[in-house]
Amino acid sequence: MSVKKIVGDSARDLTIAIDDRFDFSLHQLFRDSYSGAEETGTVFTLDLSKTSYMDSSALGMILLLKDHAEKVSGKVIIKNPSDSVAKILEIAQFHRLMTIEK
């Protein structure tokens, strides 16, 4: 399990990649990955292409990321969720809250 933070060419482009399982054990690592990003208009891309499992605490962590993004007038994009993760996001109606790119 890991959380990878990738800062783009612009300080307003931050990608967070989650490998394997996205659950409460990643809470602090996940929070640390975005907490320093205070640039107005930052786009937070959450890459879930290698995430095989996600639980309800992960949904809560994504909502915390969304709150942080809104504080800096930014947005969250969820990118490439696996079929099982996409189904969880769909059931939770996350497509109404943020962009999900498959």
List residues bridging with 92 in a β-sheet.
Answer: none
CB–CB of 4/17 below 8 Å? yes
Handedness of CA 5, 9, 10, 15 (dihedral sign): negative
Entry pTM: 0.94
Q: Is the pLDDT of residue 16 over 90?
A: yes
pLDDT, tens digit (0-9, with 9 covering 90-100), for 47-77? 999 999 999 999 999 999 999 999 999 999 9
Can you list the domains of the chain with their CATH numbers?
A: 2-101 (3.30.750.24)
> Shortest CA distance to 27 belongs to which of 68, 64, 61?
61
CB–CB of 16/34 below 8 Å? yes
